Structure 1
Amino acid sequence: MTELFRYFQKFMPLNPESLAALEKICSVVHLKKGDNLQYFGQTCRTIYFINSGVARIYYYKDGVDITESFSFEGDIIARVESLFTGNPSQKAIQVLEDTCFVAINAVQLFALYDSHPQIERLFRLIFEAGYVETVKRIESIQFHTAEDRYEALLLKPNLLQRIPLKHIASYLGITQVSLSRIRAIQR
Structure 2
Amino acid sequence: MIQPAELVSFLSFLQKIQPLTPSALEAIYSLCSLIAVRKNQNLQEIGMRCKTIYFVKEGLARIFYLKGGNEVTEYFAFENDLIIRAESLFTGKPSLKAIQALEDTVFIGIPADQLFSLFDTFPQIERLFRKIIEQAYVHTVNRMETIQFHSAEERYAQLVEEKPNLIQRIPLKYIASYLGITQVSLSRIRASIR
- Alignment-derived partner of residue 32 in structure 1: 38
- Alignment-derived partner of residue 87 in structure 1: 93
Q: State the Cα distance separating 1:64 from its structure 2 match.
A: 1.2
The one-letter amino acid of 2:139's match is E
The one-letter amino acid of 2:187's match is S
The one-letter amino acid of 1:164's match is P
2:118 partner SS: helix
Q: Equivalent residues in 2 for 1:107-122 (5 A)?
A: 107-122=113-128
The one-letter amino acid of 2:21's match is N
Pairwise CA RMSD:
0.8
| Structure 1 residue corresponding to 2:169, chosen from 152, 162, 165 | 162
- Alignment-derived partner of residue 103 in structure 2: 97
2:50 corresponds to 1:19: no
Q: State the Cα distance separating 1:117 from its structure 2 match.
A: 1.1
- Alignment-derived partner of residue 172 in structure 1: 179
Aligned residue pairs total 187
- Alignment-derived partner of residue 155 in structure 2: 149
2:41 corresponds to 1:44: no
1:48 partner SS: strand
Q: State the Cα distance separating 1:40 from its structure 2 match.
A: 0.4
1:67 partner SS: strand
For residues 15 and 142 of structure 1, what CA distance do their matches in structure 2 show?
42
For residues 20 and 100 of structure 1, what CA distance do their matches in structure 2 show?
21
More displaced 10-residue stretch of structure 1: 1-10 or 71-80: 1-10
The one-letter amino acid of 1:167's match is Y
Q: State the Cα distance separating 1:7 from its structure 2 match.
A: 1.7
Q: State the Cα distance separating 1:21 from its structure 2 match.
A: 0.6
- Structure 1, unaligned runs of 5 or more: none
TM-score by length of 1: 0.97
The one-letter amino acid of 2:174's match is H
Q: State the Cα distance separating 1:121 from its structure 2 match.
A: 1.0
- Alignment-derived partner of residue 186 in structure 1: 193
2:145 corresponds to 1:139: yes
Q: State the Cα distance separating 1:3 from its structure 2 match.
A: 1.8
Q: State the Cα distance separating 1:148 from its structure 2 match.
A: 0.8
- Structure 2, unaligned runs of 5 or more: 1-6
For residues 77 and 154 of structure 1, what CA distance do their matches in structure 2 show?
21
Off by >4 Å, runs of 4+ in structure 1: none
1:113 partner SS: coil
1:86 partner SS: coil
Q: State the Cα distance separating 1:10 from its structure 2 match.
A: 2.1
- Alignment-derived partner of residue 53 in structure 1: 59
The one-letter amino acid of 1:135's match is V
Identity of aligned residues (%): 59
For residues 93 and 9 of structure 2, what CA distance do their matches in structure 1 show?
30
